[in-house]
Structure formats: structure tokens, C-alpha cells
Amino acid sequence: MIFEVYQRTDASIMKGAELSIAFLDRCSRPEFEKIRDFLNYCASHYPEKEFAELKIRLWNKNEHQFRSASFELLLHEMLLKSGCTLIPHPDMGNEKETKPEFLVTTSKDQKFILEAVCSSEFIQEKEGINLVKETIKDTLDALPHRNFRLILTEDGEPTSQPSGKKLRAEIHKWLDELDPDEIEEYEAKNLKEKIPIFEKEINGWHLRFRPMPIPRWLRGQSKLLISTGPLGSYFADGEKRIQNVINKKQEKYGDLKMPFVVSLNFRAFGYLPDEILNAYLENENRPSSRLSGLWFFDGIDPHNIASRSHALWRNPEAEYPLNDFFNFLPQLRIDEKGIHLDEGRSVHEILELPENWPK
């Protein structure tokens, strides 16, 4: 079991520095109870011998470990429900010390190796420097201002954990001296140069706060101070990250003497499975003949299972091709006109979940 069963009472929103697993565990809203129940259900089907290690990764303070472990758990359940048997982290009997995620035997008696990988357009997620920044944001948001919310821009990185309470006190003192109606008038007349900016340099981290007046009839009701999203949202070249992660995985285990499938769960803005494949094949990037197929997911997480899409691309030059067992999956195919997606069973259909789950 991943989550203990007890009465939860905290329905507050997820804090910026809060880890996904911690939020799932404490949130009392009904939809998150459904997610906990479903993950516990999936865990009950995972081999007991291997589950202890998976649970450690799920509860790891590294957000990437949670995403990777939960992705593996969902893949395991999807293949089980499709009639497969799976052995987690099989010993391949070769010189490689690392082990792939699963040795899978399909209902049509084809064995294949499945390697799962999570990647993202975001370089840092709730760890290291970004966790420091999110902690500051949580401290600021804990005490909203009556008349203003703030738009924040930033440069640099803090070299140590700043005092969020001290910064919050300085910001509130500054906001108390501002007239929200006057700033509202500046905005209406497009006189942005007259709007004051609060700047602060903290341990190598340069912050700029711009006040945003709250409408008169809503003053005193705001529940947050910062209007921007998470701090420290760093982005990478999505195409390059996709290419690098697949190129690394496809040669990882040498000749396995059976089909080898890489399942890539890629989190980014606007990347669907056909776009992920297109990003991989850019610059005449050629897959290895050891790679039998790529199974793409567009940022699936435990809370968004019903809304995420997936698709399989078969490598036409694979040394060990995939058989027709895989035909139930949405298929990506390529011809002279480009990349096409043929329909198949959705993630929520395979997992036997309602289309609007977890609502």
C-alpha cells in the first residue's frame, strides 16, 4: 500500500514547495481520494518483492523519482490489463550492471523489454535551487495584501535560503504606502513607467515586484500575494532533450535478442505523441536497429490519466519487430506526407477508468 487509509481534513491547494506525493497524501478533496485509491489498487498488483523499492522512490524527496516510479506503476497496470505478464528489473544475463524496467510477455507469447523514462521541458522541478525559490513563494503567499497582488520577475539564483518572513514584511510595508486607485489609473492610461517597482537583491538573487491593484469590490479577499506561477521555471530545448534521452536509452543494454521498446513520458507545453516523434526524428536523427518501438505519453501523471494521450511508433528498421499484439494501441506511422496517428484504445479505456476521472 502506498497511502494509509485515514480521515483527511486538509483541502487547501498545493503549495509551491510541496512535493506531489505529500500533497496527494494530505489533500482531503474527493478527487484526490480517488487517485490514492487507484494508486493503492495498482500497487496491489505489483510484485511484492519489487514493491518496497518502488515505494521508496515514490516517497523520495526528489520529484523526478516520484514521476518516474508512478509512471512505471501505471505502465505495469496498463500491460497487466492488456493480458501481459511482467517481471520488473529482470537480470538480462549480460555484462551490463543496469537493468531495464520490465521483461514483458504478451498474450501472443512475444517477449519484449520495456524501458521507461520520464523527461521534461523543465530543467528543475522542486529540488535544489528551485525548491528554495518555491519555499519563498509559499511564505509570501501565506500573508496576502488587502489591496494588491504582485507580478514577480527574477534573475540569478540564491546562494543560500533567504528569510521569507523578512522579505514579506518589507513588501507589505512598501505596499501599505501605495494608493491602489492611483496605480489603477496609471494602468488605465497606459502609464506603466509611473508604476513603482520594489527591487530586492538577496544572496545573488535579484527580485522585482510590480503591484497589481485588486478591484475595489474584491479588496481584502485575495488568498495569495504572488500572481505569477512557480518561481524558477527554467526551460530547455525540448527537441534536444527528446533526442538525447532516446539516443541514450536505445543503446543502453546492447543486443537483447528480443524486441526493445522505450516508453517516453514527456512533460512540456503542447507536445502530443506525434509531435514528440517529430521532435525526435528532426535533423535526420536515425533510430538504432536495436530499438523496436517508441511508446509516447504526453506528460501523464496520476492526477491526469483520463486526459493524457499516448501512441506507439514501430521502427521499420528494427532487428526484432513487434508483432500484432500491439495493434490495440494508437499507432504513429510515417509516409511521404508526414506523421499520422491511427486510433486505438485510450489510457483511461485500458485502465478501465471513466473518461472524466477523477471527477
How confident is the model over 266-306, as pLDDT tens digits? 987 667 899 899 888 886 778 899 999 999 999 999 999 99
**Residue-level pLDDT at 77:** 98
**pLDDT averaged over every residue in the chain:** 87
137 shares a domain with 103: no
**Which stretches within the chain are classed as H helix?**
20-26, 30-43, 48-58, 63-81, 129-141, 164-176, 180-188, 238-250, 273-281, 347-350
**Residue-level pLDDT at 95:** 61
Domain boundary among 160, 189, 218: 218
d(CA 125, CA 130): 7
* Interaxial angle between packed helices 63-81 and 48-58, expressed in degrees from 0 to 180 and rounded to the nearest 10: 140
CB neighbours (10 Å) of residue 63?
18
134 shares a domain with 118: no
176 shares a domain with 115: no
* Mean pLDDT in residue range 29-37: 96
144 shares a domain with 113: no
50 shares a domain with 119: yes
**3 within a domain of the structure (yes/no):** no
**Residue-level pLDDT at 297:** 96
**Residue-level pLDDT at 119:** 82
Task: Give the gyration radius of the chain's Cα atoms.
Answer: 24
Percent of all residues in the chain with a pLDDT value above 70, rounded to a whole number: 91
d(CA 88, CA 31): 29
181 shares a domain with 159: yes
270 shares a domain with 343: yes
φ, ψ (nearest 5 deg) of residue 120: -155, 155
Domain boundary among 218, 253, 278: 218
Number of domains in the chain: 2
- Let me know how many helices (H) and strands (E) the chain has, helices first: 10, 11
Percent of all residues in the chain with a pLDDT value above 90, rounded to a whole number: 55
**329 within a domain of the structure (yes/no):** yes
**Residue-level pLDDT at 254:** 82
Enclosing domain of residue 243: 20-123+237-350
Of 90, 87, 200, which Cα lies nearest the Cα of 154?
200
**81-137: per-residue pLDDT in tens?**
999 999 999 987 766 667 889 999 999 899 999 999 988 755 444 445 566 677 777
Strand partners, 297: 265, 310
103 shares a domain with 25: yes
**203-238: per-residue pLDDT in tens?**
778 888 999 999 888 888 888 888 754 444 444 467
Domain boundary among 218, 250, 267: 218
* CB-side neighbour CA atoms (13 Å) of 201: 1
272 shares a domain with 213: no
Tell me the three-class secondary structure of 144-176, residue by residue: CCCCEEEEEEEEECCCCCCCHHHHHHHHHHHHH
344 shares a domain with 244: yes
**5 within a domain of the structure (yes/no):** no
246 shares a domain with 202: no
d(CA 90, CA 71): 18
